[in-house]
Structure 1
């Protein structure tokens, strides 16, 4: 079943190994932990037609080089759509965003407000939103405490302030906005440019009721819920998650929207055209 995966991760080998190591020290075991070439092959074997490559930087001085690496990777693999990383305390962070969106044709930027303990309405992030609007791109956000259920998650309040200041901004909220999905529904009612992705939630045995959350979201927003896996940082096999989706008693139109069409709606023609010159 060919599909678009809107949430995958790849990094230079040393950094990717460090990320694997971090989660393994927390007791997480991954069925797949291959290198970039093996990851690309595995995606192909699982019928991933296109994928959104999500990047993040956890300290100053990393973002530009990670983005440069991703540019070279995606230039050779044009079915991979990069979303660049940003660190607000870099020497010239605005130039990094411009390089990604204007010069390299990235599809957008990824902001991870756990790795960078800040809130979306922090003015240091305004260059990302301003240039995303200028170049017609999107922003993917990891907001709040997920995967820590006990943490504070006032993400919708801060995101609403961003959307009021930057009307028309396209945003994907990762991981279904867990654990406050219904709060994000209310925000989506008022902001048609806000989407949710299903990464780590749908098809994951750790979230046995994830299909109910996704089904309720699709019923309310049939064109704004996007399939994403979080591969390879998942504790189940990618194929098992996809098989689970095929067995769900949903009609083909719903599955097609989730697995392909909604991602294409998010990727405007300008996004697609820009990525073709990578």
Structure 2
């Protein structure tokens, strides 16, 4: 896209949006972000294919890029891959949110004995959303150490954005079945299914039919990049419309192998109407996170 900022300004103007809310963006400690980029550069097994990083810039440049794109609110998604890491990441994200206008205070967790304590402390400090990465963390959402954490998040009504689908490559604990069993035990838990559950779209939509506090983010879904390997089923278009109040925009910025505008244009190409796109790009997240 030759002029992404101009295209996105036109979208905001046409839809009468004060800004885009992107609930799936990554800001991390510099040394962690560089390790993530190195993993993508190596086309590691969790990516499954070459994955050039489009927005490989310093932190302040990335922040300016998002703001130039008209993003009014965003997250700093982090995720641990071992015990003892989550609390340290939460300290960093708390500081980042405090010094970064527009950032939704983000936290994370890992199945470990201290998790209930530091999850509670993060919420008390203002955390608005938790990132849970089943694939990278290589743990089951049904791990007994997470039971008190799920209960805390349900009781405090704080959403968890969970990467639990088996894309881009399956993990030992990915897939819809473990998530469904967690929600059967904690039906008040507010989960946001990252990447719309790629590639198990239909099964995760079935879960959302059963549990009305289940949401989705659009991260990478519908883009030409994702459609090549994991196309969203055309048979589910009606459910996209029906779930329109529970679908939130996500981009995976900066770790995307294409232009940011493609993530928005992919939504427009679905031809589900301006109201649907408006809700996904802003209204639904504004309501969920009380950003008005």
Give the alignment's TM-score, normalised by structure 1.
0.87
Q: Is the 8 A contact 1:31 1:236 kept in 2?
A: yes
Q: Is the 8 A contact 1:203 1:210 kept in 2?
A: no
Q: SS at the partner of 2:23? A: strand
Within the alignment, does 1:18 sit opposite 2:35 as a pair?
yes
**1:117 matched to which residue of 2?**
138
Residue pairs, 1:83-122, within 5 angstroms: 83-89=106-112, 92-102=114-124, 104-122=125-143
Q: What is the Cα deviation at residue 233 of structure 1?
A: 1.2
CA distance in structure 2 between the partners assigned to 1:6 and 1:142 by the alignment: 13
Q: SS at the partner of 1:140? A: strand
Residue pairs, 1:125-274, within 5 angstroms: 125-148=146-169, 155-207=175-227, 209-210=231-232, 212=234, 215-246=237-268, 248-267=270-289, 269=290
**2:15 matched to which residue of 1?**
none
Q: Is the 8 A contact 2:111 2:145 kept in 1?
A: yes
Q: SS at the partner of 1:84? A: strand
Distance 1:200 1:240, change over 3 A: closer
Q: Is the 8 A contact 1:204 1:236 kept in 2?
A: no
Q: What is the Cα deviation at residue 23 of structure 1?
A: 0.8
CA distance in structure 1 between the partners assigned to 2:270 and 2:244 by the alignment: 16
**2:90 matched to which residue of 1?**
67
Within the alignment, does 1:54 sit opposite 2:71 as a pair?
no
CA-to-aligned-CA distance 1:90-136 (integer Å, 9 cap, x gap): x622221012111x111121111111112212111123211112222
Q: 5+ unaligned residues in a row in structure 2: which ranges?
A: 1-11, 13-18, 44-49
Aligned residue-pair number: 267
Q: Is the 8 A contact 1:54 1:82 kept in 2?
A: no
Q: What is the Cα deviation at residue 154 of structure 1?
A: 6.0
CA distance in structure 2 between the partners assigned to 1:108 and 1:196 by the alignment: 14
CA distance in structure 2 between the partners assigned to 1:49 and 1:125 by the alignment: 32
Q: SS at the partner of 1:56? A: coil
Distance 1:213 1:49, change over 3 A: farther
CA distance in structure 2 between the partners assigned to 1:201 and 1:87 by the alignment: 26
Distance 1:7 1:214, change over 3 A: farther
Q: 5+ unaligned residues in a row in structure 1: which ranges?
A: 274-278
CA distance in structure 2 between the partners assigned to 1:161 and 1:147 by the alignment: 23
Q: What is the Cα deviation at residue 196 of structure 1?
A: 1.1
Q: What is the Cα deviation at residue 153 of structure 1?
A: 6.9
Q: Is the 8 A contact 1:144 1:153 kept in 2?
A: no
Q: Is the 8 A contact 1:145 1:152 kept in 2?
A: no
CA distance in structure 2 between the partners assigned to 1:135 and 1:151 by the alignment: 29
Q: Is the 8 A contact 1:50 1:80 kept in 2?
A: yes
Give the alignment's TM-score, normalised by structure 2.
0.83
Q: Is the 8 A contact 2:135 2:174 kept in 1?
A: no
**1:276 matched to which residue of 2?**
none
